[in-house]
Chain A
């Protein structure tokens, strides 16, 4: 069933806007619409443009709640200011934490760099700071390529003016210090420069503290400091997150509140503003909700609430409302399409026919019970709608199982309450076709009802699924039925006369409906083409009636095949000694349930969609989504 919708206006003074949203909009199922520009212009309305003040806070709240350690269920009753201040405190402490950590990381990097600078010189056993201050001798720390160092060793070692002290070497470089009297500095520097000596300046202080002692002493001191910094970094770990459970719960509550506030503010984007500082929301509510709303605001003079069946610029959204069990079948209806507001919701019809057809095609007490059980379990455990559907059709299968006298394929355990399909093949198939004829007539009936409801007269008068179709189909089906029952008292000429009128209407439906709508008659491609198209079109319509009816034979065929398939399983399970092999029996049953259950389920769905829905159901509806359930940010 499609619930009746009311077009609603909620108005009030702009200073009460927040309050109105929080108190009413957020608590009722109302689908907000943006006031159409035409309407807005007429009424002097302007869109209410406000920036959402909780933009930032909501984003971080979302992040917080994404962490499973922070959960809050229920409605947050925390005042907005408190929530804001809790989150701000958290943010501040996190910021402080990350700043502190970054500073420590930077310091540790500088220390490591310092250690790396001194490391190659650690073999030198003198105080660097002292010797750098020598007046007469200049000392130069640095490194040079290995081969250039060889040149130095080969040719310049004998030179008394040059003293190179090697500290360490790698595969490619030699580190060391050269000393020279200051008087000769220029010349010696030149030599070392020609040998590609790279100067390295050793820092004399770190972080304001002077570095004393030999390079290895300095390194030691720096390492001690580095260890301290590292342990400080380690001790920071986890400090950025609130420890106690209560604290986390409070933060989660605050975040929840902020998201609620954010959503309230997002609702304002739908509000329009009148020149006199009044706001207005327009939207849709179900009749029931609207009445409740009306009642609640009746004594609230700050809010004006208007509701009307008059449809706005847009067609009303569709909200399905079905009784509990039938509701599970909405899932199939949605698969095809949501009924538009004025259309009949086929869910109830579908639920009944689906259940009965399934049982008819797959009637077995034992296997039906398995399906019902499995479906119920699935529904309970995962909340799957399909599970609930399986539960229902399983019960139907059990019911038909009694009618057919079939338990796990065994037809010898109980008597059939009605008949055994495998023994009355012709009857079964005939019953199936009769069911089909009935269902097709129902579908046409729905189509006619829809056409009347939606005032679509051409659909009613000319459609193959409208009145002429109904008349034609009843007459033909009746005639065939009479022939079948051997009571052929038919007057053929009368029959043809009766059938000619609806067929002519269907055949000429396009030009006739144009006439009805007072449009100009146009024949595309000339009269010849029109005749050709009409004849072919009519032929197709007739063929469709026939094939759709015959299509229902499958309903009987499946009822037959069940006994056949289980017969094969029994045959395979029979051992030489005449006993049944339990394993084969169980596996066979599992296979048949899975295979037949799946195929029958799909075949019934196919019948629903193709043979019935296509006759009357368009499914172009727009889903009703209340603002409350479609919040921009979910928590």
Chain B
């Protein structure tokens, strides 16, 4: 398939991404309302934020509106690609986004909060179209088993249903969702992609899985202090450059310094330098991987996937800005939490 047309469109969309200067201006706003006001100046958020009024500007609402703008961008790209096979893959790729929403809802259900109020018409339409479940039923779920039961018909249902018991924590269920996402993506990658698309996406997503696994071993060992044998269930059983034995060795490392040295010996030495948060390092490295893949295979899905990656990062950055402004942090402080990829120029 020829990506000239799609890439031209993506080029135009990229021009609307925020750059460091825009973020600086956003961080300098005195109130959350002013941040929203400023954001509305940007063409990509004009419509997404248009229906938000001053009083409604709590975090959840802004977050949802931003996510909907991400979904709109995805829909744009999806509609522009005619090849049904690639469309199938794109759906699997974007599932991450829907699963993100499901995780948030699941979290609320675990906390015994009413999820009905979260569902705006836009969100219902979005989830209803993508997941093919009865949203009316889903939003009235009061308990976790009910919630899982109402997901019947989706691919994730059987996995959640057979994993859930009363002892299972939200964390474990979220891991199951991640596992579902990556296994499903890997399956549809080999099934629907070929040539440059397959090469580019296998590279990008393979490295993403490797990095994610390292990041989780690190996290679970150093912060959560989880016993080694319990860590495996949180890892994705796929690999690109990191051999499985190497990953198992990392899991079995006796101490954090030993883990550090094992990572340093891996193909991903230098990614996690310990100076910034794991997520920051992960995001920076992934941006590099995307850009490299795009440079090597310009006529592939690389451009589209890079755009979606960048947009996702931007959404999470804006959420951080809103939080920072709400808690009256200094603009420089807020900037430190942002993952500015510079994707606009790539």
Contact = CB atoms under 8 A, between A and B. Distances in A.
Interface of A: 143-148, 150-156, 158, 172-173, 187, 190-191, 194-196, 198
15 contacts: A143-B162, A144-B162, A147-B159, A151-B233, A151-B235, A151-B237, A154-B239, A155-B232, A172-B158, A173-B158, A191-B232, A194-B230, A195-B233, A196-B162, A196-B233
Overall SS of chain A's interface:
helix
Nearest to A170: B158
B242 to A, nearest CB: 11
B162, B235, B251: which has the most chain A beta carbons within 10 Å? B162
Interface in B222-239: 227, 229-230, 232-233, 235, 237-239
Interface string B24-41: 000000000000000000
Given A145-B159, A173-B162, A191-B229, A154 B176 contact: no
B237 A150 contact: yes
A147 B229 contact: no
A331 to B, nearest CB: 59
A190 B230 contact: yes
B49 interface: no
Contact of B237 (A155, A173, A194, A198): A155
Nearest to B226: A194
B248 A155 contact: yes
A104 B216 CA distance: 55
A155 B235 contact: yes
Contacts of A146: 183
A632 B242 CA distance: 89
B163 A154 contact: no
A151 B232 contact: yes
B247 interface: yes
A155 B247 contact: yes
Given A147-B183, A191-B232, A155 B251 contact: yes
A158 B243 CA distance: 13
Contacts of B125: none
Given A190-B227, A191-B230, A194-B229, 20 more contacts: A143-B162, A144-B162, A145-B162, A145-B163, A150-B183, A151-B235, A153-B237, A154-B235, A154-B239, A154-B244, A155-B248, A158-B248, A172-B158, A190-B229, A191-B232, A194-B233, A195-B233, A196-B162, A196-B233, A198-B162
Contacts of A187: 229
B179 interface: yes
A154 B242 CA distance: 12
Contacts of B247: 155
Nearest to B248: A155
A187 B228 CA distance: 11
Contacts of A151: 179, 232-233, 235, 237
A146 B237 CA distance: 11
B246 to A, nearest CB: 11
Contacts of B180: 147
A154 B229 CA distance: 13
A573 to B, nearest CB: 71
B232 A194 contact: yes
Nearest to A188: B229
B229 A148 contact: no
B121 interface: no
A145 B175 CA distance: 13
Given A155-B251, A196-B162, A148 B233 contact: yes
Contacts of A143: 162
A187 B227 CA distance: 10
Given A147-B237, A172-B158, A191-B229, A196 B245 contact: no
A155 B248 CA distance: 6
A564 to B, nearest CB: 71
A348 B73 CA distance: 92
Contacts of B230: 190-191, 194
Contacts of A145: 158-159, 162-163, 176
A398 to B, nearest CB: 75
A194 B169 CA distance: 11
A562 B293 CA distance: 101
A191 B232 CA distance: 8
A158 B183 CA distance: 22
Contacts of A158: 245, 248
A152 to B, nearest CB: 8
A117 B234 CA distance: 30
Contacts of A153: 237
Contacts of A173: 158, 162
B239 to A, nearest CB: 8
A83 B227 CA distance: 80
Contacts of B229: 187, 190-191, 194
Given A155-B248, A156-B232, A172 B237 contact: no
A144, A147, A150, A151: which has the most chain B beta carbons within 10 Å? A147
Contacts of B183: 146-147, 150
A144, A153, A194: which has the most chain B beta carbons within 10 Å? A194
A148 B182 CA distance: 12
A96 to B, nearest CB: 42
A461 B46 CA distance: 97
Contacts of A172: 158-159, 162
A151, A155, A156, A190: which has the most chain B beta carbons within 10 Å? A155
A90 B97 CA distance: 68
Contacts of A155: 232, 235, 237, 244, 247-248, 251
Contacts of A154: 235, 237-239, 244
A189 to B, nearest CB: 10
Given A155-B251, A172-B158, A173-B162, A195 B232 contact: yes
